[in-house]
Amino acid sequence: MNDLPTLDWPTAVVFAPLAGAILAFAWPRRAAGIGLASVLLTTAAVAALALRVLAEGAVVTRLGNWGAPLGIDLRADGLSTLLLAMTAGVGLFVSLGALDSYAPARADERTRRYFWPLWLLLLTGLNGAFLSTDVFNLYVMLEVIALAAVGLTVLGGGREAVRAGLEYMYASILGALLFLMGVGFVYLELGRLDFAGLIAAEPAPALTAALALMIAGLLLKTALFPLHFWLPGAHANATAPASALLSGLVVKVSLYIFLRLTQYMPLPDELLVTLMGTLGAGAILWGGIQALRAERLKLLVAWSTVVQIGLIFVAFARAGQVGLAESWKAAALLILAHAVAKAAMFLSAGRIKDEVGHDRIQDLDRSPIRPTLAQFTFALAAISLIGLPPSLGFAGKWVLMEGAMAAGYWHWVGITMIGTLLSVAYFSRVLAGFLRFDRLRTPVAEHQGWALADTAPLVLALAALSLGLVAAPILAFMEIGYPFGATP
């Protein structure tokens, strides 16, 4: 390493989308072109970073050469890089789909103009959060993500979307402020905010309070039952590419921060680990029942997100306090599986709604138009979310149950099984509607498939299905740089 400030990959990963966001906002006529170029650039930077992490281990950048504890460090280890890659991959295909979904013929001027700056700003916040090494930086990134995500929620401009967006805004800001209060406690106790300081800290009541505040904020932002009230409305009423980003990526950031923090500041009691798992179990049951009752396709998909968040918390708690050193891997695998599959599912659900003209589940089988490709994509994504082999969802659930069985925590195995059965039931409601032709009186109309908006989710769904085959290398990659060690 030389002393000259060279353009390094972690910096590029954060600043490429930021530059794109500013350019796309300043030059709305070229927003789509700038947006796609910026996403491609970011993806390339993430790929380069991943190769470097694979070769050398964790990569650290000290912005402005200040160094911790005062300066801002960016650190990419296996887990960070994996989530960056997930964001880049999902983001790239959602962008490709959005090119088509927000084409001039299909979306109004305002939607097309504001989607790209908001999405690129969101990408900046996501990448920044995954690379952050101090809790205050995380707070700022959480706020950046919240503002961009609320903007994406209300992009459609309808009354329901704005109302849901406002509700989301309140929950999101409150979550961030709870987190900020926790950050304040950390600083008052330790006099520093970086992860290394958290790891070195002796347990103290103030730190326990800080951890409680930060976790409460994160649970609100990630929508763990019973703090999920804002999610179904916000995710179901947004336009399809925005929903895919919100459900696939945005809720994952708070989950990621939760995983990090609980490794640096271990939960002080076994009871709290069980509480997390129990809330997750509540999400699986309540979300599953609501998904069974949902009348609209996008609402069903949104409730399935609540279920999957719950499942990730069950994975976190699968082996109790002693198992935490391993359980984060199961949680991270499920985060990855859900991101890819749910983005595919929301995009295809949006396509079905666009083509058929409505998304009432009951009437899907009466439509003369059959968007077969989108329906096929939806089914593939459902396979991964249900957790059938060889999908990534299967690999995640397998690791979850393996750990729970080894620890003798059979109740987590049971709740995972129940969740799986429920998900088969509610996805079958939709899939049955795709397959029944007998209720249709008129001839089936011609459908124009193979648009970019159809292909992008199909690729994502196929990825969700086939990534399960490389689950072992993914798990190995996650551990690079000993993710939960201090900044070297």
Partner 1 sequence: MNSGLIFGLTGIAVFAIGLFGALVMVEPLRRVLALKLCSVGAGFLLVVGAWQAPPDMPDPVPHALVITGIVVMISATAVALALIRRLHSLERASDE
User: Based on CB atoms, which residue is closest to partner 1, 163 or 366?
Assistant: 163
DSSP string, 205-231: HHHHHHHHHHHHHHHHHHT-TTS-TTH
- Judged by CB under 8 A, the residue of 48, 181, 199, 486 near partner 1 is 181
Identify whether the C-beta of residue 244 lies closer than 8 Å to the C-beta of residue 346.
Answer: yes
- Judged by CB under 8 A, the residue of 162, 212, 379, 407 near partner 1 is 162
Instruction: Based on the shown chain and the rule CB under 8 A, indicate whether residue 233 belongs to the binding site for partner 1.
Output: no
Instruction: Based on the shown chain and the rule CB under 8 A, indicate whether residue 151 belongs to the binding site for partner 1.
Output: yes
Instruction: Based on the shown chain and the rule CB under 8 A, indicate whether residue 147 belongs to the binding site for partner 1.
Output: yes
Binding span for partner 1 by CB under 8 A among 95-103, 142-150, 397-405, 474-482: 142-150
Instruction: Based on the shown chain and the rule CB under 8 A, indicate whether residue 236 belongs to the binding site for partner 1.
Output: no
User: Based on CB atoms, which residue is closest to partner 1, 147 or 373?
Assistant: 147
Instruction: Based on the shown chain and the rule CB under 8 A, indicate whether residue 470 belongs to the binding site for partner 1.
Output: no
Instruction: Based on the shown chain and the rule CB under 8 A, indicate whether residue 143 belongs to the binding site for partner 1.
Output: yes
| CA–centroid distance for 17 within its chain | 18
Q: Is the peptide bond before 390 cis (omega within 30 degrees of 0)?
A: yes
Look up residue 265 and give its two tokens: 């500041």
Binding span for partner 1 by CB under 8 A among 159-167, 279-287, 384-392, 396-404: 159-167
Which residues from 50-89 bind partner 1, rule CB under 8 A? 70
Closest CA to 333 of 395, 280, 279, 387: 395
Name every residue whose Cβ is closer than 8 Å to that of residue 458 and which is 6 or more positions away in sequence: 344, 348, 373, 376, 377, 380
Query: Can you state the angle between helices 452-466 and 372-386, rounded to 10 degrees?
Result: 20
According to DSSP, the residues that pair with 62 across neighbouring strands are 73
Binding span for partner 1 by CB under 8 A among 71-79, 143-151, 232-240, 267-275: 143-151
User: Based on CB atoms, which residue is closest to partner 1, 177 or 369?
Assistant: 177
Q: Which helix (H) or strand (E) holds 135?
A: helix 135-153
User: Based on CB atoms, which residue is closest to partner 1, 70 or 417?
Assistant: 70
Residue 76's φ and ψ, nearest 5 degrees, are -115, 110
User: Based on CB atoms, which residue is closest to partner 1, 183 or 218?
Assistant: 183
Binding span for partner 1 by CB under 8 A among 177-185, 248-256, 290-298, 306-314: 177-185
Q: What is the number of residues in the chain?
A: 488
Look up residue 454 and give its two tokens: 């159809």
Instruction: Based on the shown chain and the rule CB under 8 A, indicate whether residue 184 belongs to the binding site for partner 1.
Output: yes
According to DSSP, the residues that pair with 423 across neighbouring strands are none
Instruction: Based on the shown chain and the rule CB under 8 A, indicate whether residue 100 belongs to the binding site for partner 1.
Output: no
Identify whether the C-beta of residue 401 lies closer than 8 Å to the C-beta of residue 416.
Answer: yes
User: Based on CB atoms, which residue is closest to partner 1, 62 or 429?
Assistant: 62
Instruction: Based on the shown chain and the rule CB under 8 A, indicate whether residue 170 belongs to the binding site for partner 1.
Output: yes
Identify whether the C-beta of residue 342 lies closer than 8 Å to the C-beta of residue 243.
Answer: no
Which residues of this protein are in contact with partner 1, per CB under 8 A? 70, 136, 139-140, 143, 146-147, 150-151, 154, 158-159, 162-163, 165-166, 169-170, 173-174, 177-178, 180-181, 183-185, 187-188, 191
